[in-house]
Structure 1
Amino acid sequence: MGRHRGNSPDEDDHRPRRRSGRSRRRRGRGGAITAFAAAFAVLLGLGVTGWVLIDRQGGCGREDISLKVLAASELSPVLTRIASSFNAGEHSLDGRCVQVEVRGADSANVAYGISGAGPTMGDTSSHVWIPDSSLWPSLVERSTENAVLTDTGTAVAHSPLVLALPREAAEDGEATSWATLVPTDTATPGNGGYDVRLIDPVRSSSGLATLALIKGAIGDGQEQQARLIAAFQGLQQGVATDEEAAFSALSGDSGDASPVLVLSEQAAWRYNNEHENAPAHVNYPEGGTYTLDYPYLLRTDDPLLSRAAEAFRAELTGDDAQSLIRGEGFRSADGTADTEVLRSEAGFQKEIPAELPSPSGGAVEQLTRAWNQLKLNTRMLTVLDISGSMAEAVPGTGLTRMNVTTQAATEGLSLFPEDAEIGLWEFSVRINGDLDYRETVPIRPLDNEVEGGTQHQALTTALAGIEPKPDGDTGLYDTILAAYREMSRTYKADRVNTILVLTDGNNDDEGSISLDELLTTLEEEFVPDRPVAVISIAFGPDIDPEPLERIAQVTKGAAYSTDDPTEIGDIFLQSFALRIADTGEEG
């Protein structure tokens, strides 16, 4: 990474008080030779191996070297104790004592604060940063080139991700893997029959790693996109804003029954300490898991502060410090656990669980962007073709094209949260005076009360009652332009504004605008910072996909086509996947 002094606290700005009550000792010739040899050893050691020679015999007679350390909140209490002992030992560099100050900080807040790109901004003033996971520095690397951030290659602690669930549920449950948390029915968002909870991935390493692990279990490829979306949606329904909310769900305080929570071992141990009346049992997913690795990162390029940071790093990796760290529910970097702390009766295992490779910086960025895109509230106008050809039978189903389409649209409503705003138009040719379209259900949130029911129910009823217009033609182009203008006029910046067109035919309205006129108008009226995407699903043997593809290109939407109307349901999911598909390349 690049170097930028402004990202690291200036030593002179944080100069501590001069130590008092200590007399300086004069050195004779022998002392001078000893001091020269020690200095030479320090220089040689730093240049070759990176080790630091520390004077543990006192002799601090000048200003202290103040080393500021930001550590993950759950790790900072034990590091504060270790730092207190370290400071009492009067570790001296060049006759100046190193004094370590540890502060707890949310890892996500620090990462976003350093990079300047994120939903939160935290305290970044430190010489050493110990986040809970290497995911955060990798995210910083992708976001900025100006941060002073050096990986020392040292992990202060380890804590693998586990599944924590109420003890009663654990006794009845089966062996779990990340794949078992993936929904088997993409039309019904959920997570493999489990009420899976995780902490918001934008703010939590465990949550972010869970997304990567589930994505890995699903696999890559266009055909897997629907399963990924359904899994993400199921997770979003039970996402906890922070650890306190997650603990509340696990303990039953929030009224939830038998949730499965993705936590680190240490967080599960901490939960049990705080909830003795509702302890959790830990399960280790088959096939391996991701491990929080608490990397020791330098945030200074000052030579003296770097030596002080190296001294404290050496302290943290020593036997005494590691014993204290294991006593707080962590493992050492080699996987060693304190079995008197992580006890088997709670499900904790002594053996190191198989560690899956951590996601790359590019994958982390992609996952967070996908999660945020999917989390954005939806505002969608569904535009349904009711031309005469929609009455034709779909071979082998006993259903008409209209039946298959309205069933897929009805099932598709379950993909959206209840605050999604969705409306319905139908179109053919001149079905509303001289207009080719008419509003069937206005755009409203799905949970809005409408005539004794909800908008969701109103849409379901309307879809069930739609009938094709006998001998009706397809006024596609005029309808798309009208829908585009209506959605642009009523655009909402906090939502994804989309038009979904469901049709089995090509434009055959002789009185409509031409395709070229439509494309030119859409190009002229498209506003990049107020986008309205046109997504079309066309089905049937007579479809010409090119016009819809060109419309999608102009509006940054997508066009799907199939000869088989029974595939509409799967394509509906793929169209919804467009919201997270274009999220950047993995690096």
Structure 2
Amino acid sequence: MPDSHAAEGRRDHPRPGRRRRTVVIATLLVLSVATGTAVAAKGGLWSFSESCEDSAVHLSVVASPDIAPAVRSVAERARADEVRADGRCLEVEVLARDAHKVAAALAAGDAEPDFQVWLPDSELWLERAKGLGEGIPVSPSDSVASSPVAVGMVPSASQALGWPRTTYTWAELVAGTLGSDRVRLGSADPARSATGLLALVGIGASSARQGGDSDTRVAETAKVLAERMSDGDAQVLETLARSDSGAEQGNPKRNQAVLISEQAAFTHNAEATGGGRLDLFYPEDGTPLLDYPYTLVNEPELSIPESRAALRFMNLLSDEKAATTFAEHGFRAGDGSAADSLVAAAGGRKPQPYAEPPAEAPSAEELQETLGMWTITVQSARLTTVVDASGSMATLVPGRGQSRMDVTKESLIQALDQFTPNDEIGLWEFATTLDGAKDYRRLMPTRRLGDPAAGGGTHRQKLTAAFAGLQPVPGGATGLYDTVLASYQEARSTYVKGKFNALVVLTDGSNQDEDGISRSALVARLKELVDPERPVPVIAIAVGPEADRDEVAEIARVTGGDGYEVSDPAEIQGVILQAIMTAGQNGRAGQE
């Protein structure tokens, strides 16, 4: 490194799974720098005598609001010390933006980002930012800091649960708070907060280890949390009782406990007085970490000076001075280690297991499943499921020995288990000339799963039997366009306010009904039918190699939904949950 300030003190303890990322980014940057170095040397462009104002290279960093002040301090120190990258002074602008908003904007890819580096509070936003792979690319590296997710309580509540001597698992701790009239537990919206989502995943994993009907217990927990949900981490702190006075504790609008990061508790306690301070419970079955990955945005489009400046600033954020700055703001090192004094200031105390290794990071599938469950728990779903019954659905799935229809049916039945009795689900099937001149047939009305059905049983049981009875129509072609129009018109006309209304369409091929409506006419008609006050997004899933995701995506996006592709019908369950989460989040964002 030719800079006058090398990164002698960089911590070299990357979290598991991150080392390869560092190598990839470093390789890309080295190649860029090597090219730039040759050009600069040949042209005589380096000049260490120029003033910073004339030679500065500008870098914009968007950071999660909690870590932005610490990152800004490092940037200001770099400016004061006239730190250089390839002989040019480093001028870094740090902007605070909520990670969920940044992830949504990058996934959409509608506009060029006005920043080169992103520092979200969690790696989970990187997967959200990828979306369907059509947005702005992101290239993550190592964590620059970390903070465990815990449960903060006002002293009267924590003492009632035996803090600090008594320790609990996630499941036990949440059950202890929800089972007590004296302890009201608040959470930030898991769709907008990494803290809330990681805590909910931890609760789910802990409940599963207890055995029994864990899905039901977690759904019930989510329902209770939703009743005391705040939009974000800053807002949930505002719901806390401000003191241990009887009036504050008896106020039903005030919480005595919150799902919170250690760093947020550190900041809260630094400003709180008396009974307003928080004590922290660290679940004994593992605290997940907010991990703050340093991430390049649209790396292929970065100029050589920007690439070099980005690498230089990453090194600065990893040196010993930066570690001290992060600790002063309540953050742990990237590997999760922290001094006892930091933990004590945040409200932790032995024998709480705050020094134990963090919980393993959840997989993308676990996050999607949890978010899907959360969306349909917070806002009951009303879904009309429309399934392709054309002859091609009899095609065998490679390596499974089952037809596309058989695997699709199994996946739909499994997905049904994720829904509550209050959710409303119906079923249509479609193929050319399925019902006389019509290409579609309604098999089950869209009703509450818990409602009693004619002849006994519940709507859920009848719907499960209807899924199991789906069969391909021999010789039937795919009458997709007429079916989408008819089912969308009914879903819109039967819209139920207060629920997440959507149309889920599964097809393994393009439209083959030449006598029906054309694609362009369908898109035009859907544009006329869409009503922002009665949103019904279409979630279109292309099943198998013959299906055209671009075709169904074009149709779905007109309604506020999107198109998805699965090579194996067994993936349908996960995709439905992911799509519900995405469409539900987009709907909330549109209401802000």
Aligned to 1:364: 367
1:304 aligned to 2:302? no
Q: 1:580 to 1:127 in 2, by over 3 A?
A: closer
Aligned to 2:126: 137
Specify the SS of the correspondent of 2:375: helix
Number of matched pairs: 375
Distance 1:497 1:232 in 2: 20
Q: 1:321 to 1:584 in 2, by over 3 A?
A: closer
**277-286 or 289-298: which moved more?**
277-286
Distance 1:122 1:107 in 2: 17
Distance 1:217 1:200 in 2: 20
Distance 2:179 2:206 in 1: 12
Specify the SS of the correspondent of 2:60: strand
Aligned to 1:583: 577
Specify the SS of the correspondent of 1:359: coil
Q: 1:524 to 1:255 in 2, by over 3 A?
A: closer
User: Deviation at 1:502?
Assistant: 4.4
1:64 aligned to 2:56? yes
Q: 1:527 to 1:482 in 2, by over 3 A?
A: closer
Distance 1:181 1:376 in 2: 25
1:407-446 matches, within 5 Å, as none
User: 2:281 is matched by which residue type in structure 1?
Assistant: N
Q: Residues 60 and 96 of structure 1 are in contact (CA less than 8 Å); yes or no, is this contact kept in structure 2?
A: no
User: 1:196 is matched by which residue type in structure 2?
Assistant: L
Distance 1:247 1:148 in 2: 33
Q: Which has the larger radius of gyration?
A: 1
Aligned to 1:89: 81
Distance 2:101 2:150 in 1: 24
Q: Residues 66 and 99 of structure 1 are in contact (CA less than 8 Å); yes or no, is this contact kept in structure 2?
A: yes
**234-243 or 370-379: which moved more?**
370-379
Q: 1:333 to 1:525 in 2, by over 3 A?
A: closer
Distance 2:134 2:212 in 1: 33
1:103 aligned to 2:95? yes
Distance 1:315 1:529 in 2: 57
Cα shift readout 1:267-313 (whole Å, capped 9, x = no counterpart): 01111123223111111111111000011001133232111111011
Aligned to 1:206: 195
User: Deviation at 1:150?
Assistant: 0.7
Specify the SS of the correspondent of 1:501: coil
Q: 1:208 to 1:143 in 2, by over 3 A?
A: farther
Aligned to 2:487: 527
Cα shift readout 1:55-85 (whole Å, capped 9, x = no counterpart): 9976457542101101110111121111011
Distance 2:160 2:252 in 1: 20
Q: Residues 163 and 260 of structure 1 are in contact (CA less than 8 Å); yes or no, is this contact kept in structure 2?
A: yes
1:246 aligned to 2:249? no
Q: Residues 186 and 228 of structure 2 are in contact (CA less than 8 Å); yes or no, is this contact kept in structure 1?
A: yes
Distance 2:96 2:335 in 1: 24
Distance 1:527 1:45 in 2: 51
User: 2:316 is matched by which residue type in structure 1?
Assistant: E
Q: 1:123 to 1:173 in 2, by over 3 A?
A: farther
User: Deviation at 1:364?
Assistant: 1.9
Q: Residues 246 and 261 of structure 1 are in contact (CA less than 8 Å); yes or no, is this contact kept in structure 2?
A: yes
Q: Residues 369 and 578 of structure 2 are in contact (CA less than 8 Å); yes or no, is this contact kept in structure 1?
A: yes
Correspondence for 2:160 among 158, 165, 172: 172
Distance 2:317 2:284 in 1: 32
Aligned to 1:74: 66
Q: Residues 222 and 378 of structure 2 are in contact (CA less than 8 Å); yes or no, is this contact kept in structure 1?
A: no
Specify the SS of the correspondent of 2:238: helix
Aligned to 1:197: 186
Correspondence for 1:288 among 286, 289, 295: 286
Aligned to 1:151: 140
1:12-31 matches, within 5 Å, as none
Specify the SS of the correspondent of 1:197: strand
User: 1:246 is matched by which residue type in structure 2?
Assistant: V
User: Deviation at 1:363?
Assistant: 2.4
Distance 1:338 1:524 in 2: 59
Q: Residues 219 and 373 of structure 2 are in contact (CA less than 8 Å); yes or no, is this contact kept in structure 1?
A: no
Q: 1:581 to 1:203 in 2, by over 3 A?
A: same
Q: Residues 56 and 88 of structure 2 are in contact (CA less than 8 Å); yes or no, is this contact kept in structure 1?
A: yes
Aligned to 2:6: none
Distance 2:363 2:330 in 1: 27
Correspondence for 1:46 among 11, 25, 30: 30
Q: Residues 241 and 255 of structure 2 are in contact (CA less than 8 Å); yes or no, is this contact kept in structure 1?
A: no
Q: 1:326 to 1:348 in 2, by over 3 A?
A: farther
Q: 1:45 to 1:376 in 2, by over 3 A?
A: closer
Aligned to 2:552: none
Q: Residues 233 and 260 of structure 2 are in contact (CA less than 8 Å); yes or no, is this contact kept in structure 1?
A: no
Distance 2:337 2:486 in 1: 59
Q: Residues 213 and 290 of structure 1 are in contact (CA less than 8 Å); yes or no, is this contact kept in structure 2?
A: yes
Distance 2:112 2:96 in 1: 10
Cα shift readout 1:120-156 (whole Å, capped 9, x = no counterpart): x99942111000010100222244344221112x211
Q: Residues 57 and 90 of structure 1 are in contact (CA less than 8 Å); yes or no, is this contact kept in structure 2?
A: no
1:127 aligned to 2:116? yes
1:215 aligned to 2:218? no
Distance 2:155 2:75 in 1: 37
Distance 2:309 2:484 in 1: 61
Q: 1:43 to 1:143 in 2, by over 3 A?
A: closer
User: 1:321 is matched by which residue type in structure 2?
Assistant: A
Distance 2:94 2:382 in 1: 46
Correspondence for 2:225 among 235, 240, 261: 235
Aligned to 1:470: none
Aligned to 1:465: none
Question: TM-score normalized by structure 2?
Answer: 0.54
Cα shift readout 1:476-505 (whole Å, capped 9, x = no counterpart): xxxxx9995xx7xxxxxxxx8667224664
Specify the SS of the correspondent of 1:147: coil
User: Deviation at 1:164?
Assistant: 0.2
Correspondence for 1:259 among 252, 256, 260: 256
Q: Residues 60 and 90 of structure 1 are in contact (CA less than 8 Å); yes or no, is this contact kept in structure 2?
A: no
Distance 2:574 2:377 in 1: 6
Distance 2:449 2:29 in 1: 62
Q: 1:351 to 1:259 in 2, by over 3 A?
A: closer
Distance 2:112 2:277 in 1: 34
Specify the SS of the correspondent of 2:313: helix
Cα shift readout 1:158-190 (whole Å, capped 9, x = no counterpart): 100111001122122142221114659xxxx95
Specify the SS of the correspondent of 2:331: coil
User: 1:151 is matched by which residue type in structure 2?
Assistant: P
Q: 1:213 to 1:56 in 2, by over 3 A?
A: farther
User: 2:330 is matched by which residue type in structure 1?
Assistant: G
1:271 aligned to 2:268? yes
**250-259 or 172-181: which moved more?**
250-259
Q: Residues 108 and 134 of structure 2 are in contact (CA less than 8 Å); yes or no, is this contact kept in structure 1?
A: no
